[in-house]
Chain A
Amino acid sequence: AQTVTQSQPEMSVQEAETVTLSCTYDTSENNYYLFWYKQPPSRQMILVIRQEAYKQQNATENRFSVNFQKAAKSFSLKISDSQLGDTAMYFCAFMKPLGPGTYKYIFGTGTRLKVLA
C-alpha cells in the first residue's frame, strides 16, 4: 500500500528567506503523480505544484519548486523569497490513476508553515 510521510509537523521561516518542506512516499508503482497543496486559514485547499513521475525535470511554479528524487522516493517543496501569505498548512499527496476516470489519492499529515515578519 502507498504511504506518504511528512516528518515536519511545524516549521517557521523569516520573511524573504527560503524554506524546504520534506515529503517521502512509498510505492511500487511506476506511473503516478505527486502534488503539494496549500491550506491557508481560510481552509480552502489550493494546488501549489504537481509532478508527473515519468518526468525527470523538477516542476517549478514561480517561487515554488520541487526536488523530485524518484529512486529515493522523495518529493520536497522549496519556497523561495517567503511571504507572509505563504503561512499555511502544506500537504503532500500521491496519486495513482486506477483506470479511465478513476484515481487513488493518499495525503500526508501536513506541515504547518509560519512565515515570520
Chain B
Amino acid sequence: NAGVTQTPKFQVLKTGQSMTLQCAQDMNHEYMSWYRQDPGMGLRLIHYSVGAGITDQGEVPNGYNVSRSTTEDFPLRLLSAAPSQTSVYFCASTLNNEQFFGPGTRLTVL
C-alpha cells in the first residue's frame, strides 16, 4: 500500500492564481481531511469528507473548495490564491480512530 499520497510536494503561486492540491489513498478509508499547518498554530482543519459525495467545512474553510467523487481521491482547490494561504498542507485519512497523514505540500503564495 502506498498509504496517503500528495502532489505536488512544493508549489509557488502568484496572488490570484488557482491550483489544485491532489490527495489520494489506497486504504479504502471513508473519512478524509485536509489541514493546514502554520507556525505556532498546530494543524487546523480546512475541510473533511465522510465518504464519496459528502464533504463539509472544518475550522478554516474560506478560500478553499473540495470534492469527493471517489473514495480514493480528495483534491483541495484554491480558487484565487492569497498570501495568507502560504502554509504547509496535509491530507489525512482515518480508520478505526487512527489517522494516516500524507507527506504534505509546502505552498508559497507571492
- B10 to chain A: closest CB distance in Å? 11
The A97-117 residues at the B interface (CB cut-off 8 A) are 97, 101-103, 105, 107-110
Task: Give the nearest-CB partner of B106 in chain A.
Answer: A43
Task: Give the nearest-CB partner of B104 in chain A.
Answer: A43
Instruction: Give residues in A with beta carbon < 8 Å to B.
Output: 4, 9, 33, 35, 42-45, 47, 50, 91, 95, 97, 101-103, 105, 107-110
Do the beta carbons of A47 and B98 come within 8 Å of each other? yes
**In the assembled complex, which residues on chain A have CB atoms less than 8 Å from the CB atom of B44?**
107
Do the beta carbons of B88 and A43 come within 8 Å of each other? yes
Task: Give the nearest-CB partner of B31 in chain A.
Answer: A101
Do the beta carbons of A101 and B104 come within 8 Å of each other? no
**In the assembled complex, which residues on chain A have CB atoms less than 8 Å from the CB atom of B42?**
4, 91, 107-110
For this complex, into which size category does the number of interface residues on chain B fall?
20 to 34
Q: Which 8 A-B pairs have the closest CB atoms?
A: A45-B101, A107-B42, A107-B43, A109-B42, A43-B104, A101-B30, A102-B50, A101-B31
If A91-B43, A103-B31, A108-B42 touch, whether A43 touches B97 (CB-CB below 8 Å) is: no
- A1 to chain B: closest CB distance in Å? 10
If A43-B88, A47-B98 touch, whether A102 touches B31 (CB-CB below 8 Å) is: yes
Main secondary structure of the interface of B (DSSP, over half): strand
If A101-B30, A101-B31 touch, whether A44 touches B43 (CB-CB below 8 Å) is: no
**In the assembled complex, which residues on chain B have CB atoms less than 8 Å from the CB atom of A47?**
98-99
B51 within 8 A of A: yes
- B88 to chain A: closest CB distance in Å? 7
B2 within 8 A of A: no
Do the beta carbons of A50 and B104 come within 8 Å of each other? no
- A100 to chain B: closest CB distance in Å? 9
**In the assembled complex, which residues on chain A have CB atoms less than 8 Å from the CB atom of B88?**
43
Do the beta carbons of A43 and B43 come within 8 Å of each other? no
**In the assembled complex, which residues on chain A have CB atoms less than 8 Å from the CB atom of B101?**
44-45
Do the beta carbons of B104 and A109 come within 8 Å of each other? no
B87 within 8 A of A: no
